[in-house]
Amino acid sequence: MEKFFKLKENGTTVSTEVVAGLTTFFAMAYIIFVNPQMLSQTGVPYGAVFLATIFASVAGTLVMGLFANVPYAQAPGMGLNAFFTYTVVFALGFSWQQALAMVFLCGLINVLITVTKIRKMIIKAIPESLQHAIGGGIGVFIAYIGIKNAGLLTFTSDPGKNIVLDGGTVIADSSIVPALSEFTTPAIILALIGIIITFALLVRKVKGAIFISIVATTIIGIPMGVTKVSEGISTSGLGDSFAALGTTIGAAFGSEGMLSFLDDPAKLPLIIMTIFAFSLSDTFDTIGTFIGTGRRSGIFDANDEKALESGSGFASKMDRALFADSIATSIGAIFGTSNTTTYVESAAGIEAGGRTGLTSVVTAACFVISIFLAPIIGIVPAQATAPALIAVGVMMLSSFADVKWTDLEDAIPAFFAAIFMGFCYSISYGIAGGFIFYCIVKIVKGKTKEISPVIWVATALFIANFVILAFI
């Protein structure tokens, strides 16, 4: 194990990696229950998506750990599953089988742009100031996820300004206003207790602080009535789930999936644009996660960056990590779920000390176990994991220290990258905001020669994506 994962070389131990893997898993375990709830609205059997979510997560995370030897976990991405459900199926009228086919093709495109080094070229082209802004922006993003999951925020919108979609989802316009929740419910009180425990342990530099806080908060939540057995899949229903999985495995390739694309040639441009939207978001979500967490933690150090720039094949850990991420989406589509991507919640395990692929292997093992222990895994409430995400967000904000905030040429792109990332609830939108304003600032300053051709192209693609989404 030491030789394979190079634990000493990376300054870690087996126990640290195990705790980190458990921390990552519990920070992202919600996807096991949320993804089936989301995708089943399209007609995909709930039990099939439950298993597909787990299998896609296990496959992607194992490749990340065993091939790339980095502590990142993968699972069907939030945001991407919403795009799958509400835009591709509900708004555009595609079947869930056709949507899976698009996800599979998106995965193939991601493999292609990774093997041809396009994703590596994008990373190399991002200015250092923007890379620091992305790191801090992910801190804002992940802390916001934690604050929201803790229930500390309420949102109010003007009457008559809401759109209610099939399934009950409500979309409000910009009149919506956030406010601090009233600290009157057991759930919010438990979240506050969890926050205090988490930061007390971190300030005291207790080893495994984040994982200990998750366990302690979960236990405290039992007498408060917040910690309860999940109403998700039970072990008695596993047989039905596996039977349902037979309807989703390979559905992307059948007569109702990819083969149906030729039935109406007029829809091909729309299909291509939808695949493009999937791919762009998936690609930049991953790039942002790697840049934001890898640089700060040293997982992708100076030597790895050098190998990334000058090496061939899969010379660097970043090369291998990008490849692992790119194949996971297609694997997930084969099982029957939306885009599988590298999870920003991996930062929780990294902050817990995870530095090698052993962390990922432990997380993958937890996903396997969750097939049989889903009700027990579901006991951990969001109020127990939310403080961990807030803490990680706080620690990642240190990347902002390397941004020259007194120089507007650096500050403006950095601001929009960070703010859009958190408030738009999307890493890729944050990067888009940073790229667009970086180009605007350079044009105004008469420094267009400093803009890399890769940044020009990426910015144009982002703008094209926004235009496309405005009309579909």
pLDDT of 221-233, one tens digit each? Answer: 999 999 985 544 5
Q: What is the pLDDT of residue 302?
A: 67
Q: Which secondary-structure segment (H or E) carries 218?
A: helix 209-224
**Strand pairing of 74-76 and 170-172?**
unpaired
Q: What are φ and ψ of residue 35, in 5° steps?
A: -60, -45
**237-267 confidence digits (pLDDT tens):** 788 899 999 999 999 999 999 999 988 888 8
**Strand pairing of 162-164 and 153-156?**
unpaired
Q: Nearest to residue 309, comparing CAs of 299, 319, 298, 320? A: 319
Q: Could you write out the DSSP letters of every residue in 401-430?
A: GGS-TTSHHHHHHHHHHHHHHHHTT-HHHH
Q: Coil, strand, or helix at residue 5? A: helix
Cross-strand partners of 153:
180
**330-351 confidence digits (pLDDT tens):** 999 999 999 999 998 999 999 8
Q: Whole-angstrom Cα distance, residue 165 to residue 181?
A: 26
Q: What is the pLDDT of residue 70?
A: 95
Which segment of 128-137, 306-315, 391-400 scores lowest on mean pLDDT? 306-315
**152-163 confidence digits (pLDDT tens):** 999 988 877 777
- Through-space distance between the first and last CA atoms of the chain, rounded to whole angstroms: 50
Residue 356 has pLDDT above 60, yes or no: yes
Q: What token pair was written down for 72? A: 């990142």
What percent of the chain is helix, strand and coil (3-state, nearest 5)? Answer: 70, 5, 25
Q: What is the pLDDT of residue 266?
A: 84
Query: Average of pLDDT values for 306-324?
Result: 75
Residue 190 has pLDDT above 60, yes or no: yes
Cross-strand partners of 170:
164
Query: Average of pLDDT values for 57-84?
Result: 94
Residue 169 has pLDDT above 90, yes or no: no
Q: What is the largest CA-CA distance in the chain?
A: 67
Question: What is the rounded average pLDDT for all residues in the chain?
Answer: 89
Q: Whole-angstrom Cα distance, residue 134 to residue 253?
A: 37
Residue 234 has pLDDT above 70, yes or no: no
Q: What is the pLDDT of residue 73?
A: 96
Q: Whole-angstrom Cα distance, residue 119 to residue 322?
A: 8
List of long-range contacts for 194-198, beta carbons under 8 Å, 24+ apart: 194/150, 194/220, 194/383, 194/384, 194/386, 194/387, 195/150, 195/386, 195/387, 195/390, 197/387, 198/387, 198/388, 198/390, 198/391
Q: Which secondary-structure segment (H or E) carries 342?
A: strand 340-342
Q: Could you write out the DSSP letters of every residue in 82-145?
A: HIIIIIIIIIT---HHHHHHHHHHHHHHHHHHHHTTHHHHHHHHS-HHHHHHHHHHHHHHHHHH
pTM: 0.82
Range of the domain at 73: 2-471
- Which one-letter DSSP state was computed for residue 306? H
C-alpha to C-alpha distances, 463 to 7, 126, 277, nearest whole angstrom: 43, 17, 11
Q: What is the pLDDT of residue 317?
A: 84
Residue linked to tokens 């899949």: 233
Query: Average of pLDDT values for 58-87?
Result: 93
Instruction: Specify the number of domains making up the chain.
Output: 1
Residue 168 has pLDDT above 80, yes or no: no
Q: What token pair was written down for 203? A: 């300030």
C-alpha to C-alpha distances, 402 to 48, 134, 138, 284, 408, nearest whole angstrom: 46, 11, 15, 22, 14
Which segment of 25-29, 147-151, 292-296 scores lowest on mean pLDDT? 292-296
Q: Whole-angstrom Cα distance, residue 55 to residue 364?
A: 9
pLDDT band at residue 291, thresholds of 50, 70 and 90?
confident
Residue 186 has pLDDT above 90, yes or no: yes
Length of the chain: 472
C-alpha to C-alpha distances, 176 to 155, 161, 452, nearest whole angstrom: 6, 9, 38
C-alpha 237, offset from chain centre:
29
Q: Whole-angstrom Cα distance, residue 325 to residue 76?
A: 11
